[in-house]
Amino acid sequence: MGQRTIIPFGPQHPVLPEPIHIDLVVEDEKVIEAVPSIGFIHRGLERLVEKKDFVEFVYVAERICGICSFIHGQTYCQGIEEIMKLEIPSRAKYLRTIWGELSRIHSHLLWLGLMADAFGFESLFMHSWRVREQVLDLIEATTGGRVIFGSCKVGGARRDITPEQMTWLLKQLEVVEKEMHLIVDVFMNDSSVKHRLCGVGVISKADAISLGAVGPTLRASGVADDMRLLKYAAFGELDFEPISRTEGDSYGRCAVRCAELFQSVDLIRQAAAKIPAGEIAVKVTGTPSGEFFSRVEQPRGEVVYYIKGNGTKNLTRFRARTPTFANVPPLVKMLGGCELADVPVLVLTIDPCISCTER
Which residue ranges make up the site for another protein (CB under 8 A)?
A: 35, 37-40, 42, 44, 46-47, 52, 56, 59-60, 78, 82, 123-124, 127, 130, 133, 137, 140-142, 144-145, 148, 150, 158, 182, 185-186, 189-194, 209-212, 225, 227, 229-232, 292-295, 302, 304, 306, 308, 316-317, 319, 321, 325-326, 328-330, 358
In the complex, least distance from residue 46 CB atom to another protein, rounded to whole angstroms? 7
- 227/301 Cα distance (integer angstroms): 8
In the complex, least distance from residue 39 CB atom to another protein, rounded to whole angstroms? 4
Q: Which residues contact 319 (CB under 8 A, 6 or more apart)?
A: 46, 304, 305, 306, 307
CB atoms under 10 Å from CB of 353, counted, come to 25
Given the complex with another protein, which of 2 and 311 has the nearer CB atom?
311
Q: Alpha carbon of 49 to those of 113, 133, 228, 317: distances in Å?
A: 35, 34, 27, 7
How far is C-alpha 145 from the chain's CA centre? Answer: 18
In the complex, least distance from residue 274 CB atom to another protein, rounded to whole angstroms? 19
Given the complex with another protein, which of 111 and 121 has the nearer CB atom?
121
Given the complex with another protein, which of 2 and 6 has the nearer CB atom?
6
Q: What backbone torsions phi and psi does residue 201 show, to the nearest 5 degrees?
A: 65, 55
Virtual torsion, Cα 321, 327, 329, 334, nearest 10 deg: 180
In the complex, least distance from residue 55 CB atom to another protein, rounded to whole angstroms? 9
DSSP 3-state assignment of 37? strand
In the complex, least distance from residue 148 CB atom to another protein, rounded to whole angstroms? 8
- 146/150 Cα distance (integer angstroms): 10
Note every long-range contact of 341-344, with CB atoms under 8 Å and residues 24 or more positions apart, other chains counting.
341/29, 342/196, 342/200, 342/201, 343/9, 343/22, 343/24, 343/31, 344/13, 344/15, 344/16, 344/118, 344/119
Given the complex with another protein, which of 2 and 236 has the nearer CB atom?
236
Given the complex with another protein, which of 141 and 175 has the nearer CB atom?
141
Given the complex with another protein, which of 62 and 260 has the nearer CB atom?
62
In the complex, least distance from residue 306 CB atom to another protein, rounded to whole angstroms? 6
Given the complex with another protein, which of 13 and 172 has the nearer CB atom?
172
Of 321, 317, 332, nearest to 357 (Cα)?
321
In the complex, least distance from residue 159 CB atom to another protein, rounded to whole angstroms? 8
